[in-house]
Structure 1
Amino acid sequence: MYPETQKKIAEMLEDTVFPGAIYTFIEKDKTETRLIGAAAILPEREELREGMLYDVASLTKVIVTTTLLLQLHEEGKIHFEDPVQVYLPAFPSGAVTIRHLLTHTSDLKGYIKNRDTLSAEQLAAALITLEPAENLGKKVVYTDTGLILAGFIIERLTGKSVAENFEERIKQPLTMTESGYNPADPMRCVPTQNHPTRGVIRGKVHDPKALVLGGHCGSAGLFAPMQDLIRFSQMLLHLGEWEGQRILRKETVQALLRDWGSVPGQPRSLGWNLFHEGDDFVLWHTGYTGTFLILDPNRQRAFILLSNRVHLKDRRSEWIAVRDELIAVYLKEANEEKTE
């Protein structure tokens, strides 16, 4: 499938955009997965193996936190226009809603003094007291803060951590057997950055806030192999030929395919980013470590890429440019296949 897209991925490997990657194309009942390159360069070169776990970074926002909130909405336990203050009484603003958090339109003032020296309890307390600025509901500003607060709402409603909710409500019913927070065997994980103080990070989350908050973090922290992300994607694509069970209603998934942010020129769904595919929207999200997920439920099509592009250097601006080029190649090729 998608020879031009695969050629572009090979070029990215040759240009050392990442040391290696695993990627999957889903086209209705057809699935193709490829591995390319190495899992690690430091402390020594290590080949990429099937079943290795990736720090999926901000894909946690949509795989875990957004999905959990959609389930709670189906159960009638939340409404997206509910003020955050209803669930987190210490939150200072009555104007910010759950929808604002999920669409990155809350415009929360995100600065926290000495953030990296705080304990989990101190960091959580500081995050809950952040206030919105003047662009509440008027501008999309992508941050971790909104989804972390959304995770706290989940915990307040269920009495269980974000990680525990993932285990019970997503992992078990979808048989995503290898995924989770805080993996037991670091050597099964693809390493990320060669950090100036942490060294080569392996089996520990790359994101600093998630490192402190652990299983209470709704913005990052999930480790997963490709096979589990395929299962998750097949569920959202309404595909039935797989082991597991549906954890979201079909109409709930369809409701994601509209602009919930209402900011002109910056369409956002609940948790997910959006781009146009003809007259429809397609869901997509990225992760800082070098991951992305594109889902087109209307055409039952997906493109998943997992890489550790921060190993060894974090060349973020270069990554964003070439990642967007890759996505453009994929979309062009997908449209060509559709018209043939």
Structure 2
Amino acid sequence: MKYNKTELAIQKLVDDGVVPGVNYAFIDEDGTQRHLIGNKQLVPKEVPLTDGHLIYDMASLTKVVGTTMVILKLVEDGKLSLEDSISDYLPEWQYPEVTVRNLITHTSGIEGYIPHRDQLDRDELIKALLGLKAGAGLNHEMHYADVNFIFLGLIAKKVTGKAIQPLIEELVLKPLHMVNSSFHPDADKCVPTTYDKEHGLLQGHVHDPKAQVLGEDCGSAGLFSNMDDLLLFVESVLNPDDNPVLSSDTVRGFYTDQTKHDLGRSYGFERINYEGMPFIWQSGFTGTFIVIIPEKKHAMVFLSNRIHPVSPNEYYIERRKPLIETYLSENK
């Protein structure tokens, strides 16, 4: 298939200076089309993006590529149930009505504010998160929040005795042969994110503040990966019978709403419709996203470092939605 309008929209993102460059790919019945445009970095000097195998900070793609897969694997192995109360595993948590399903679908209703969050150490941050409350939105509202997947990571650790990031490496990256993905990448192979004169380029080190503090216990961010490996992951979701981590029935569960009241979330992913065509998608703060159209077995993978040189670059968010809609419209 041709995606002329989508490619023009991506080119315009670069031309307008919204992102330094983009590494993107389309999967469809014709195979995989890969493209590379723009720059790897803009400061302290401009460097063209000429290597399609460079590694990116995945940010919240960690949630679906890593933590979601681990939790579902533990469910399949009978070590966990989606209907389990999270208080069974995190006894400090005071709202036993919140379940593992609520966490994986962002319907936990968890709310609250942690003062000086980025100044806390690991133990202090976990204690503060466990001190938050579940509000009226439980099961009735979707509120996307990192805390849900931080708790999933802590639950996986309680069940297995291993931190979530090593579990992701063992249970997901290894069987999927995602050999370029890790939580401690070679910085020279990474696309940089932020830059300031005092610290220079942030390259090969996770951008997310909570991931910096929690280290291997962070289930919401921290993964570094590249296009080669993300295509392997996406193919494993598009082809349930060939997924080396999960059963075909579990993988098909990604395609359907997994909330109590049809709130538009599957396992980890947002699950919505474009003009009657269901699709699932997930993004990362650093400028990454995946869009999957299950019924057509089509997908788009988009990698950029939109927070380079300065975060947060909110204008990118305004441009992302129409870009995705353009891609979906070309698949109708």
TM surpasses 0.5: yes
* Cα offset, 1:32, TM superposition: 0.8
Deviation at 1:129, TM superposition (A): 2.6
Counterpart residue number, 2:244: 246
Secondary structure of 1:147's aligned partner? helix
Instruction: Decide whether aligned partners of structure 1 residues 91 and 240 sit closer, same or farther in structure 2, where only a CA change above 3 A counts.
Output: closer
1:293 matches 2:295 = no
CA distance in 2, matches of 1:169, 1:28: 29
Shift of 1:97: 0.7
Task: Tell me the TM-score normalized by structure 1.
Answer: 0.92
The Cα shift of 1:113 comes to 2.5
Asked if 2 retains the 8 angstrom alpha-carbon contact of 1:192 and 1:311, the reply is yes
Asked if the contact 1:239/1:300 (under 8 Å) is kept, the reply is no
CA distance in 1, matches of 2:205, 2:197: 15
Deviations 1:130-159 (A, max 9, x none): 221222222111110001101111111111
Fraction of identical pairs, as percent: 38
Say whether residues 1:21 and 2:22 are aligned partners.
Answer: yes
Letter in 1 for 2:215: G
Report if the CA contact (8 A) 1:193-1:312 is conserved.
yes
The counterpart of 2:253, out of the listed 236, 241, 255, is: 255
The alignment partner of 2:316 has SS state of helix
2:87 corresponding residue in structure 1:
85
The within-5 A match list for 1:78-117 is 78-117=80-119
CA distance in structure 1 between the aligned counterparts of 2:302 and 2:155, rounded to whole angstroms:
30
Kept after mapping to 1: 8 A contact 2:240/2:252:
no
C-alpha separation between the residues in 2 aligned to 1:283 and 1:69?
18
Q: Deviations over 1:98-133 (max 9, x none)?
A: 111112111212422221111112212222232212
Q: Where in structure 1 are there 5+ consecutive unaligned residues?
A: 336-340
Q: 1:197 to 1:143 in 2, by over 3 A?
A: farther
Name the CA shift for 1:80/1:211 in 2 (closer, same or farther; >3 Å).
Answer: same
Quote how far apart the aligned CAs of 1:240 are. 7.8
Query: Match of 1:321, as an amino acid?
Result: E
TM-score between both structures, scaled by the size of structure 2: 0.94
Secondary structure of the corresponding residue to residue 124 of structure 1: helix
Question: Deviation digits for residues 31-58 of structure 1, max 9, x if unmatched?
Answer: 0111111111112112221211100110
- Name stretches of at least 5 consecutive residues in structure 2 with no aligned partner: none
For the residue of structure 2 that corresponds to 1:286, the secondary structure is: strand
CA separation in 2, counterparts of 1:262 and 1:240?
A: 27
Q: How many angstroms does 1:262 deviate by? A: 3.8
Cα distance change, pair 175–29 in 1 and its aligned pair in 2 (3 A): farther
Q: Deviations over 1:48-94 (max 9, x none)?
A: 21211100110001000111111111112211111100111111111
State the AA in 2 paired with 1:299: K
* SS of structure 2 residue aligned to 1:173: coil
Aligned twin of 2:212:
211
CA RMSD of aligned residues (A): 1.8
Give 1:116-127 correspondences, 5 Å limit. 116-127=118-129
SS in 2 for 1:142: coil
Q: 2 CA distance for matches of 1:196 and 1:219?
A: 28
**Alignment: residue pair count:** 330
C-alpha offsets along residues 276-329 of structure 1, whole Å, 9 cap, x if unaligned?
A: 156553110011111100112322111000000110133543111211111011
The answer on 1:271 being equivalent to 2:268 is yes
> In the alignment, is the contact (CA less than 8 A) between 1:293 and 1:302 conserved in 2?
yes
Alignment equivalent of 2:59, drawn from 54, 57, 81? 57
